[in-house]
Structure 1
């Protein structure tokens, strides 16, 4: 079993893992010849099923296993991976590989940086030492084992740049194919409304403000918020005329924000088993016959209720940019499709899929 790759887009990879870390601690990572998949399934809250094209993140990519398509399944702690990637932001090269140390499987991230050799005298050897997270390793791992720092130039002149290589090891689990066979994306019915969301960071700012207002009121009758443990609920609604509405209803206030002029993407007949006839009877086609583009009509809206803090964490994916399409299954679920890449030459499009269950009224 082998896996080795050079990372060509460290910033995207870091932002991606940061968005996952807000929703769960562990990711199921599936590597194969076609793509890279990260899945987060927390005990409560939003599930994430992401499919990344290899060239979205990696430049060179080598994988080998006994499974079909050379598939390797891993269980990876997200926070240590994110911290390792953050340390590589200024690297001139970064590589990741599957390895083993003391019979413990690891993802080993090796980064190369340029440093100024201003203090080491001529003829001094490279430094092998602890990392800067503290004597005992603030991230919960044994620092000497996890960080190995070496000088690429054993003899360097004072004041000259030199390459420094740092390796960080992330303990993981290698999963047997049988243990992940039963994992599959949630099944949802056809959406009633599909709409392109506005800028996610703007939407997050307003959503977080509503959540703070709800927390300050302590109780809400219509959202089902009765304690700080359950968290305030926000109503998110959309129609097939480019309108999106975010609402907060408590026993002491009612407030909402309305976006108009958004896009309702056209459905592709080839993606429907019944073709054009299937689109004619699609729920979104029927919903398009109701309501209007002003957002004032109460007809034609599909609504879901989301937990405010969980919703705010989902919206952190906005740091990746990209197009986001929201699919509303009225009173049942909200599915977000986040598309990244695809506009860059030679880079395939990747999609992150978020499944958010709706709370009852």
Structure 2
């Protein structure tokens, strides 16, 4: 197996740093899948066995790297799967925002490593400095690859574009300190409501005039705990109760420059959060609903 890639543009280097930083906040460990067309960062729910991914991030290599070479085990299995500590990669990329060049390659030191060679300008002369980071990785055997495929999800009942992530993050971080669970409710009229309940109070924040990307028709709430709505048709709303902390962690992606963030809801079962950038980076977070 061989892998070598070079990045020289400051914009992609800065964006790549922000993406990895976001992933490191979501999980201590991740899987890096290298393919001929894309890089994938995959975070499982607990990183211990065949559980569906909590996060799936795909990065097109041609918009980020000026050189990109990969050789897999053979012609049939061309991908490479590496397990690594996401914080190690994030810390190694800390100087990338001012770097002139990044070279990534697979090496064999005392153990398999993802080696980063970062060329940075010197503050005292016109010469450049080269900093090398060797990040230990675990080469994942082919028999385990099926555990790290993009999850098959049911058709969402509704997809709605989220408001500004910074604004949303401020709101949810305040709620996080009050309640471990938040109900996310979306309506076909373009309203998004975040609601928490405690022994002392019920708090709701509503965002309106949002773009509805998809709505699959009337939703049966005959067995629902949804309260009677006075200003909207209940059959045109769907909701899901999720972990407040997990929702908040995804919102740390506000540091990634993006052109759209969409929230898709499978009523009472699943929330899919998807962030897309102009460079065709796609970051998806899957949060399983809490059902009593």
TM-score range, shorter chain: 0.7 to 0.9
Deviations 1:111-154 (A, max 9, x none): 1112144xxxxxxxxxxxxxxxxxxxxxxxxxxxxxxxxxxxxx
Aligned twin of 1:183: 148
Alignment partner, residue 78 of structure 2: 70
For the residue of structure 1 that corresponds to 2:26, the secondary structure is coil
Name the residue aligned to 1:130.
none
Deviation at 1:298, TM superposition (A): 5.2
Give unmatched runs, 5+ long, in structure 2: 220-228
Secondary structure of 2:127's match?
strand
What are the within-5 Å matches in structure 2 for residues 30-179 of structure 1? Answer: 30-43=33-46, 47-67=54-74, 68=76, 70-102=78-110, 104-117=111-124, 160-179=125-144
1:46 Cα deviation after fit: 7.4
- 1:242 and 1:262 in contact (8 A); partners too: yes
Counterpart CA distance in 1 for 2:127 and 2:149 is 48
2:103 and 2:53 map into 1 onto residues whose CA distance is 31
Q: Which residue of 2 aligns with 1:331?
A: 268
The answer on whether the counterparts of 1:35 and 1:54 sit within 8 Å (CA) in structure 2 is: yes
Q: Secondary structure at the match of 2:268?
A: coil
Secondary structure (helix, strand or coil) at the match of 1:70 reads coil
What is the deviation of 1:4?
0.7
Say which structure is richer in strand: 2
The RMSD of aligned alpha carbons is 2.1
State the secondary structure of the residue aligned to 1:169: strand
TM-score, structure 1 length as denominator? 0.71
For residue 303 of structure 1, the aligned residue among 239, 242, 245 is: 239
Structure 2 residue corresponding to 1:284, chosen from 190, 211, 216: 216
Q: Is the 8 A contact 1:5 1:60 kept in 2?
A: yes
Deviation at 1:69, TM superposition (A): 6.1
Number of residue pairs aligned between Structure 1 and Structure 2: 273
Deviation string for 1:231-283 (max 9, x for gaps)?
A: x11111101221100111112111111111111125xxxxxxxxxxxxxxxx6
For 1:116 and 1:23, the matched residues in 2 are separated by 34
Any stretches of 5+ residues in structure 1 without a counterpart?
A: 118-159, 215-231, 267-282, 288-293, 343-348
Change (3 A) 1:181 1:307: closer
